[in-house]
């Protein structure tokens, strides 16, 4: 009987650990699928063994900066260093993003690709022939290249004491939480680069390698579970 309980415990432990590996595989797959997504932040899946020997997964977001890619779009911006750009949805919800592939929406309002308003609302009239965005986020519009431009707004940058505490809600958008703390406006900075976007920080080769390792681990676990299950069946038959 004690041997049966030991086999049951082994099956239970390896089942839980295999489920954890499946979850881990899901996050690695998500990272790979977002490798080409602007400013996407890779998710790390860390395993912790509890006192009973079961693997427990902890998910963390890697907020290190991705590489900066130069573009030809004057409404593209990238953040150099830590920080997020606050954006507002059409329902008034405030989100934070690092995806600076902006465009003009209704009435010439500067918006994200998902239709959120950038900052407090920057209106770029159709009569502007050129837009200049300075490193501090100030946006200037030229109606005549031979004359001084007009300052028409500012793209703000905010930081969080604990960015890992931000909650990702899809489309490269985050919301603050009690863990992240409140946003702090960065003043007198030089973080904004025009004609540029931030790429994802996913190390594709590393993620593919991790998937292969997890797959090998899953195969080993399922094979071992099958062997243990067979031993358990034999033990029951012997007692019978």
For position 1, what pLDDT does the model report?
42
CA distance 94 to 43: 23
Give the phi and the psi of residue 53 in degrees, each rounded to 5: 85, 10
Can you tell me the mean pLDDT for 14-25? Answer: 68
- What are the CA-CA distances from residue 173 to residues 34, 169, 182, 220, 232 (Å)? 14, 6, 16, 38, 49
Say if residue 139 is exposed, middle or buried (CB neighbours under 10 Å; 0-12, 13-18, 19+). Answer: buried
H/E element holding 140? strand 138-142
- 114 Cα distance to chain centroid: 16
For 86-99, the pLDDT digits (tens) are 999 999 999 999 99
> CA-CA distance, 122 to 136, in Å (whole number)?
15
**Helix orientation angle between 204-239 and 2-33, rounded to the nearest 10 degrees:** 160
Where does the pLDDT of residue 170 fall: very low under 50, low under 70, confident under 90, or very high at 90 and above?
A: confident
Over residues 143-160, the pLDDT tens digits come to 999 999 999 999 999 999
pTM of the model: 0.77
Cα gap 186→85, rounded to integer Å: 10
């Amino acid at each position: 009987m004690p041997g049966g309980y030991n086999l049951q415990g082994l099956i239970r432990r390896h089942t839980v650990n295999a489920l954890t590996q499946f979850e881990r595989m899901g996050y690695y797959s998500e990272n790979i699928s977002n490798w080409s997504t602007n400013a996407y932040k890779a998710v790390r899946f860390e395993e912790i063994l509890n006192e009973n020997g079961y693997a427990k997964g902890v998910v963390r977001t890697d907020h290190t900066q991705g590489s900066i890619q130069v573009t030809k779009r004057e409404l593209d911006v990238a953040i150099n260093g830590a920080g997020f750009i606050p954006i507002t949805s059409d329902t008034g919800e405030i989100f934070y993003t690092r995806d600076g592939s902006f465009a003009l929406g209704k009435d010439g309002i500067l918006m994200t690709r998902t239709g959120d308003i950038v900052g407090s609302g920057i209106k770029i009239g159709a009569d502007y022939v050129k837009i200049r965005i300075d490193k501090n986020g100030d946006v200037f519009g030229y109606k005549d290249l031979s004359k001084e431009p007009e300052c028409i707004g500012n793209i703000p940058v905010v930081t969080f004491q604990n960015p890992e505490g931000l909650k990702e809600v899809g489309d490269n958008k985050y919301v603050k939480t009690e863990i992240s703390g409140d946003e702090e406006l960065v003043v007198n900075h030089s973080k904004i680069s025009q004609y540029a976007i931030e790429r994802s920080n996913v190390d594709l080769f590393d993620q593919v390698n991790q998937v292969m390792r997890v797959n090998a681990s899953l195969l080993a676990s399922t094979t071992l579970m099958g062997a243990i299950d067979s031993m358990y069946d034999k033990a029951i038959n012997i007692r019978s």
